[in-house]
Amino acid sequence: MQKSWLSALSIYTQPRVLGMIFLGFSAGLPFLLVFSTLSAWLSDSGISRSVIGFFSWVGVTYSIKVFWAPVIDRLPLPVLTRLLGRRRSWMLVAQIGIATGLICMANTDIHQHTQTLALCAVAVAFCSATQDIVVDAYRIEAVTVEYQGAMSATYVFGYRLALLVAGAGAFYIAEYTSWQTVYWVMAAVMSVGITTTLLIAEPQVSKDKAAQLLEQRLEASLGVAQHTTLWEKFVAWFVDAVISPFVEFFTRNGKLALLILALIGLYKMSDITMGVMANPFYLELGFSKKEIAEVTKIFGFFMTIFGASLGGLLVARYGIMKPLLLGAILVCVTNLLFAMLAVSTPDLIFLAAVISADNLSGGIASAVFIAYLSSMTNSAYTATQYAVFSSLMTLPANLIGGFSGLVVDKFGYQLFFIYASVLGVPAVLLVIWLNHLQIKKSA
């Protein structure tokens, strides 16, 4: 039954939905501190460009988090899991690890112990990626599917707010004090996440009997169902934690599984590809850095938050598939607006209008897509399956995005943005196809 707008809007008054603002903030804060903010500190301290480039490898940690997600799904922490629960215990350990890593970075002599600083940054990134895994799992398990869009929207709001604090806020602090002080302050600000983790309730998830039966069958087929030896126990754990999530996904979705994975890999393709060349495009149009910052950061921030909030509202009122289709279409259309901007006389108002439309559509698409990914997980394997989905969501798009500069050099910006728009068409068609097949299956 379709909800009224007022009833749909009420989802933003739910305590767990509001709590995601603070968890989103905690997830977003470390990200820039091991990326662009850290690069600024290194550059400001006279570290060579080649060394700064090597520091970017820290980001690989976020791309490979799927490898330890099964451990987080299955391994209880001594004492803490009994006191706080499965999700909150891992969340707390990750947040304390981030704060400790930031303090270590603040206390490291950047010239004398550059390698130590790099190791500390890797530790922060590892703990940050771990926190991402747990927060995603908590977000999915804490509420029903109809609330996932709103949870995504409030998460995006908190995350974006943290990016402002760790980005612009860090520059302001560094301007008047030092970069070491920046990292001390950011370590203290992590108390937002720690406090939230201690205050929220552990999500109650019932055991999935179908998943348990699947694990028993897989263990029996490999002859390790008895768990008598240490080797059998290890193989059984590996089967349950690593293999079962994949088998369960394909078993549950049947013939639709490959189409769903294709949609996950293609949905962000248009948006990410366009984003690679956005800032060079603005500069080549002749806009100043100040104008770009004001329009992209101020308009961009508020329009993204508004778009994400609207996406959550649409999911609550119409379900997931219709807003998912809307988001995919809007992303394609807004890329065509950039193609128009590329052949028009540079105008700040037109730039603001295009960027506003782009961030609004991106906010809607992101919130709805996160809700869709969340709905595709099984509560028995939440962390593992979502980690796989989130990696698949960005990997193909980032690989294709790497060729963006070549496309611009050969064909110019107008055709590049048309090309980026066309990259979004397969996602639109897949959403329509999947929706049709799911309706036919449920009929």
Task: Give all strands (DSSP E) within 354-402, no chain letters.
Answer: none
Domain range for 131 is: 5-205
Report, as an integer, the average pLDDT of 315-338.
Answer: 90
Phi and psi torsions of 35, nearest 5°: -125, -110
Based on the domain organization, do 197 and 269 belong to the same domain? no
Residue 399 lies in a domain: yes
Residue range 32-58, pLDDT digits in tens: 898 778 887 887 888 887 777 777 778
Task: Give all strands (DSSP E) within 31-189, no chain letters.
Answer: none
Residue 107 lies in a domain: yes
Report, as an integer, the average pLDDT of 160-167.
Answer: 88
Could you give the percent of the chain with pLDDT greater than 70? 95
Residue range 258-292, pLDDT digits in tens: 999 999 989 988 887 887 677 677 778 887 767 77
Predicted local distance difference test score (pLDDT) of residue 106 = 94
Give the separation between CA 49 and CA 385, rounded to whole angstroms: 38
CB-count burial class (<10 Å; 0-12, 13-18, 19+) for 201:
exposed
Based on the domain organization, do 194 and 262 belong to the same domain? no
Confidence band for 87, pLDDT divided at 50, 70 and 90: very high
Predicted local distance difference test score (pLDDT) of residue 289 = 66
Predicted local distance difference test score (pLDDT) of residue 163 = 87
Predicted local distance difference test score (pLDDT) of residue 270 = 86
Predicted local distance difference test score (pLDDT) of residue 9 = 67
Residue 221 lies in a domain: no
Confidence band for 8, pLDDT divided at 50, 70 and 90: low
Predicted local distance difference test score (pLDDT) of residue 6 = 67
- The structural domain count of the chain equals 2
Predicted local distance difference test score (pLDDT) of residue 148 = 82
Whether residue 82 has pLDDT greater than 70: yes
Predicted local distance difference test score (pLDDT) of residue 284 = 80
Residue 215 lies in a domain: no
Give the separation between CA 108 and CA 130, rounded to whole angstroms: 24
Give the residue from 205, 238, 270 where a domain finishes: 205
**DSSP readout, 211-270?**
HHHHHHHHHHHTT-TT--SHHHHHHHHHIIIIIHHHHHHHHHHTTHHHHHHHHHHHTTHH
Predicted local distance difference test score (pLDDT) of residue 281 = 78
Residue 18 lies in a domain: yes
Based on the domain organization, do 290 and 434 belong to the same domain? yes
Q: 221 or 93: which carries more pLDDT confidence?
A: 93
Looking up residue 292, the CATH number of its domain turns out to be 1.20.1250.20
Confidence band for 81, pLDDT divided at 50, 70 and 90: very high
Q: Where is average pLDDT lowest: 42-46, 200-204, 329-333?
A: 42-46
Residue 220 lies in a domain: no
Cβ atoms of 151 and 143 within 8 Å: the answer is yes
Report, as an integer, the average pLDDT of 128-141.
Answer: 92
Whether residue 196 has pLDDT greater than 70: yes
Whether residue 7 has pLDDT greater than 70: no
Cβ atoms of 135 and 193 within 8 Å: the answer is no
Confidence band for 218, pLDDT divided at 50, 70 and 90: confident
What global pTM score does this model have? 0.80
Confidence band for 344, pLDDT divided at 50, 70 and 90: confident
Confidence band for 443, pLDDT divided at 50, 70 and 90: low
Kindly give, in sequence order, each residue whose CB lies less than 8 Å from that of residue 129, ignoring residues fewer than 6 positions away.
Answer: 61, 62, 65
Predicted local distance difference test score (pLDDT) of residue 47 = 80
Predicted local distance difference test score (pLDDT) of residue 1 = 52
Report, as an integer, the average pLDDT of 108-112.
Answer: 88
Average pLDDT value over all residues in the chain: 86
Residue 313 lies in a domain: yes
